[in-house]
Amino acid sequence: MNKDQIASRMQHISPFYVMDLLAQAKQLEAQGHEVIHLEVGEPDFPTPDAIKTAAIQAIEQGKTKYTGATGLPELKDKIAGYYQQRLKACVDSKNIIITPGASGALQLALSVLVNSNQSVLMADPGYPCNRHFVRLLDACAHSIPVEANTRYQLTHRLIEQHWQENTAAVLIASPSNPTGTLIDQGEMTKIIEVVKKKKGILLVDEIYQGLVYDQQEFSAAALSSEAFVINSFSKFFSMTGWRLGWLVVPDAFIDTVDRLAQNLFLAPPTISQYAALSAFEESTLNVLDAQRDELNKRRKFLLNGLTELGFGISVKPGGAFYIYADVSKFTDDSFKFCNDLLHQSHVAITPGIDFGDHQANRYVRFAYTQNLEKLQLALDRISDFLTLYKHQP
Ligand SMILES: Cc1ncc(COP(=O)(O)O)c(C=O)c1O
């Protein structure tokens, strides 16, 4: 056996650089150091009790067989009700496909929509797996550099400007990872119009839906019945490890998506689906809303603290749990900066290089996934680190 036997497409699948940092952080912890983890994209909150109890009951009642390939009808109904009540969006249960996480939803949608000679427009910086999903289809991820002037988001103008003959689709995320920025309703409407005019497909990743601060949130599903909308139980619902998400699919594609879901996944995880049924109870939603309010406090706290320390944050994040900060005042190598910060001060953050190429050396991502006390400790450590760092060659 040798490495020549690995398919050539794997050359284009890069690892997460932050995994390297995580491994080093684990080593430091094994040596007895306390590392503050602001690198990982999952909050410290546990899954709410009602969801855990429902999972235990499902196991005890023997609900451990496959479900249908597109998921439990009663879970689809709950999700449809959630769209109606919380987001004023009319989504029919038949258009909802339950998937193994948003990851499964993205893979499913892109596989159904993109041919090998086609491309998908996406923002750089953006969620790194997207370009890999596209490359697995031997298609092309067409990354468009975005900056603070568009809140690090694609706009209808950028989409129009970069659209090519082989463009099949546009993939946007609001709120975004790594920037936490949103696309407002007016701009989303224009994006929907432009993609329609180009006869393309719009995919909107709403995995951070529910984690939107100080403003009214909306779903693209309320504005268009032709968009593919991706969501997940991972983030707002605090269920990262349960591997459950969903995809809202336009009428014309339901049968095809169902056919591929059967082949790719057989079914989404059964126990997780039964557990997720109780995620929509009012008492559970109250717990989740309180977690969102706590994240908002952390957002404000860390934004103030980092700004005072001299990090460049020209666009305030309005959602998710990330702050994308410019470190060019301190370094021209954000990866080295993250490494040094970890080793010298035991604070772990993610380098920009994990999210694309555009100005990747200039940015880092902070995830405010730890409590206020830990965030204060992290700020103190970063402050000490910067005092010395400025004097380093
Ligand atoms: C923007 C975005 N989309 C999709 C995912 C995948 O999430 P999951 O598969 O856990 O639902 C993530 C995970 O961090 C993400 O940030």
pLDDT digits (tens, 9 = 90+) for 191-203: 999 999 999 999 9
pLDDT at 17: 84
Which atom of ligand 1 is closest in space to residue 42's alpha carbon?
A: 14
- Pick from 11, 14, 9, 10: nearest CA to 356: 14
**What is the full DSSP assignment across 268-310?**
S-HHHHHHHGGGGSHHHHHHHHHHHHHHHHHHHHHHHHHHHHT
Which atom of ligand 1 is closest in space to residue 41's alpha carbon?
A: 14
Q: Dig out the tokens for 173 from the structure.
A: 């995320």
Contact criterion met (CB below 8 Å) for 324 and 10: no
Which atom of ligand 1 is closest in space to residue 126's alpha carbon?
A: 1
pLDDT at 390: 67
- Does residue 143 have its Cβ closer than 6 Å to ligand 1? no
CA distance 125 to 353: 9
CA distance 175 to 153: 9
The kind and range of the H/E element at 334 are helix 334-345
Which atom of ligand 1 is closest in space to residue 240's alpha carbon?
A: 10
The residues of the chain scoring below 50 in pLDDT are: 391, 393
- Does residue 177 have its Cβ closer than 6 Å to ligand 1? yes
363 CA distance to ligand 1 middle (Å):
20
Contact criterion met (CB below 8 Å) for 349 and 327: no
Dihedral angle, C-alpha 65, 285, 76, 67, nearest 10 °: 0
In the chain, the largest separation of any two C-alpha atoms, in whole Å, equals: 63
- Pick from 259, 255, 196: nearest CA to 226: 196
pLDDT at 392: 54
Name, in order, each residue with C-beta under 8 angstroms of 261's C-beta and a sequence gap of 6 or more: 69, 70, 97, 99, 108
- Does residue 240 have its Cβ closer than 6 Å to ligand 1? yes
How many alpha carbons lie under 13 Å from residue 214 in its C-beta half-sphere?
11
Substitution candidate for ligand 1 out of 174, 177, 179 with most atoms within 8 A of CB: 177
CA distance 355 to 47: 27
Neighbours of 116 (CB within 10 A): 8
Left, alpha or beta for 184 (phi > 0: left; psi -120 to 50: alpha)?
beta
**What is the full DSSP assignment across 102-155?**
HHHHHHHHHHHH--TT-EEEEEES--THHHHHHHHTT-EEEEEE--GGGTTS--
- Does residue 102 have its Cβ closer than 6 Å to ligand 1? yes
pLDDT at 16: 84
Contact criterion met (CB below 8 Å) for 180 and 319: yes
Return the amino acid letter for 85.
Q
- Pick from 365, 324, 41, 45: nearest CA to 207: 41
- Does residue 103 have its Cβ closer than 6 Å to ligand 1? yes
Q: Dig out the tokens for 240 from the structure.
A: 């990262």
Give just the sign of the alpha carbon dihedral 222, 223, 227, 232.
negative
- Does residue 234 have its Cβ closer than 6 Å to ligand 1? yes
